[in-house]
Amino acid sequence: MRKIVLIITLFTTLSLFANTEPKNSILDRPLVERYILDELKDLRTNQQKLREDVTVKITQSQLNTTDRTVRYATDTINNIFYIIAAASSLLLLVGFKSLKELKDNSENLVEAKILHLTKDFEQRLLDIENQAKQRFEMITENQDKISQSETINSLWRRAEIEENLQEKINLYDEIIKINPNDVEPLAYKADVLLDLKETRWALSLCNQAIELDSNYALSYWQRACANAILENINESIDDIKMALEISPNLHDELSTEESFKALYNNKAFKELLS
């Protein structure tokens, strides 16, 4: 580095002199040029030598590391063999008197281990089989529910557009057959029966629906209609109150429900209208 700075300083100084001296100055002499070229050559030689020295040192370091690694691995393997030999000797001292006894005990240990692993594997297979069976049953049940749901939705859509009252009843019966615990088709069937003047049959269906679900407002509403037609005034008023308590939106239909004509002069019914 000092040589580089010296060369640069010398070259700069000579350049300044060159600007002031005549053409026959010292820079025109081959000796100075030769000196500069020799210095540059020495500089390149030193750099090459430095690179070679660094390469040799890195190579030597890698060789030393590899040698230590091999030596460590060799020592580790030797230690493992020593440990195995010591363990074998210890086993012979504490009870294994012969190679045959050692072999027999080893076979017994292996058989016991294999038997344990076999039982464990069989139990795992059984658990997997049971889980697969449960999942299959669950999938099958869900598929059945989806199929039933699609069928019920189709029947409801058909019942909505069906104009024939008897055919409506048949469609509701199919829905009830698929899902006997569904109170909604019972209430709608009762409504159709009221239109067919089958009042007592409708009343029976409403009672059945209320037994299945006591929180379905339409069941009380349809029973109130049936009781009003049968002139069971007090029972009809009670059912109307219950229906309105569960579903207040039904209040708007009080004045338009034809089945409540027998209640128009009833004081309690008038209070419900207000």
What does the pLDDT look like over 202-242, one tens digit per residue?
999 999 999 999 899 999 999 999 999 998 999 999 999 99
User: Which CATH number does the domain housing residue 265 bear?
Assistant: 1.25.40.10
100 belongs to a structural domain: no
Do residues 168 and 267 share a domain?
yes
pLDDT digits (tens, 9 = 90+) for 108-147: 777 787 888 788 777 887 888 888 888 877 887 777 778 7
* Structural domain harbouring 168: 162-273
How many domains, in total, are found in the chain? 2
The answer to whether the beta carbons of residues 210 and 224 sit under 8 Å apart is: no
Q: Which ranges of the chain does DSSP label H, i.e. alpha helix?
A: 2-20, 30-94, 99-161, 165-178, 183-195, 199-212, 217-229, 233-246, 267-273
CA angle, corner 219, sides to 217 and 224, nearest 5?
95
Q: Among residues 244, 162, 232, 238, which one has the least CA distance to residue 195? A: 162
State pTM to two decimals: 0.51
pLDDT tens, 26-50?
Answer: 444 566 666 676 777 777 777 777 7
> Based on the domain organization, do 74 and 172 belong to the same domain?
no
